[in-house]
Amino acid sequence: MIFMPNECDTYLKNPPGSIDGDMLNRIKGSMFGLLLGDALGAHVEFRPHGYLLANPVSDLQSGGTWGLEKGQFTDDGSMALCLANSLVARCGFEPYDQLVRYKWWFRHGYMSSTGNCFDIGAATKRAIRKFESQQTEFARNNNIPLEEIDFLSDEKLLKIFPINCGSNEAAGNGALMRLAPVPLFFYRNPQLAVDFSGISGRITHGDQRAYDACRYYGALIITVLMDKVDKDELLSEKFYSNELKKFFKNDSLHTDIEKIAKGSFKKKKGYDDGIRGKGYVVNSLEAALWAFWKTETFKEGAIEAVNLGDDTDTTAAIYGQLAGAFYGYDKLPSEWINMVYAKRFVECLCDWIAYEGSRWDSKK
């Protein structure tokens, strides 16, 4: 039986140990930032920039594209919760289990705010279907009952399962939009956090730009978690060259992503200067960073991200991951947080991300 997130309150348990308060504030900021961005943009998803010039978004709304209630999220939030649950349940990074949970979302509405999968991207759907077919073949070849294949735990078998199910041409934003749980969980191991960020995306999106967008954004998030760095410094070309670039020394970023890392998003006129909230990962990354760079509060940036138009929820969800970690949970608009679907569940999940992340040991 699969419960909806808002049906889990009676089953929630707090971690047994202490949690660093400042780190938890940033982890909750990032996770809730993602969900708030998604929810803010959901009702105008696919609307063009011209529509939003005439009808600008300034607050959470119900109805619209998907007919959601205020605070409900779409595929961005659902997949991020799938990923977060996998990290906590497996006490580490297991791509196979991540794919299983994405499949559960696709087939059964696991971690959905409505009980059903909706708004799934084409590349993600193809990757999940490929995963399902590979599961069937793998079960047959290894004499595993098909009803047990989702719960595969044999380490030798997990190592040989073909986890990269994304097309090499899949360069959409469907991997970047769900990223945050990875750097949040592995905050004590920055290099692994960046490496795992890339792998977490590649299992559904095989294009180098999608992979590198996840690695670069993971590096930004992990830096915000670990260092007291101001925004201008974090987003400077000098900081990228002197600090962030070390994460990619053995595998340099795609030139399209490196241009962003060097500041291509710093365009004062935003949309009029070419910033676009499109589904292509290069556009999405640039747009999210533009909204973060341009504004001084979480709320202002989320609104700017949505009002670019087009893939409104995902642009704002990507923005929210970094901005939420930077500003912290206590600086997010409380009137929005109180409307987030399954708020208590997400709070508990953040506690467990912080707790298990603090205990995770790469030597295990």
330 labelled as ligand-binding?
no
Sort 229 into a burial class: Cβ within 10 Å, 0-12 / 13-18 / 19+: middle
DSSP β-bridge partners for residue 172: 280
150 labelled as ligand-binding?
no
119 labelled as ligand-binding?
no
As a whole number of angstroms, the distance between CA 159 and CA 283 comes to 34
273 labelled as ligand-binding?
no
Joined together, the tokens standing for residue 44 give 């105008």
Alpha-carbon distance values, 166 to 21, 22, 211 (Å): 37, 36, 11
76 labelled as ligand-binding?
yes
Between CA 184 and CA 157, with CA 170 as vertex, the angle to 5 degrees is 65
DSSP β-bridge partners for residue 345: none
DSSP β-bridge partners for residue 280: 172
Query: Alpha-carbon Rg of the chain, whole angstroms?
Result: 19
Q: What is the DSSP letter of 247?
A: G
313 labelled as ligand-binding?
yes
Binding residues for Mg(2+): 74-76, 311, 313-314
Enumerate the known binding-site residues. 74-76, 311, 313-314
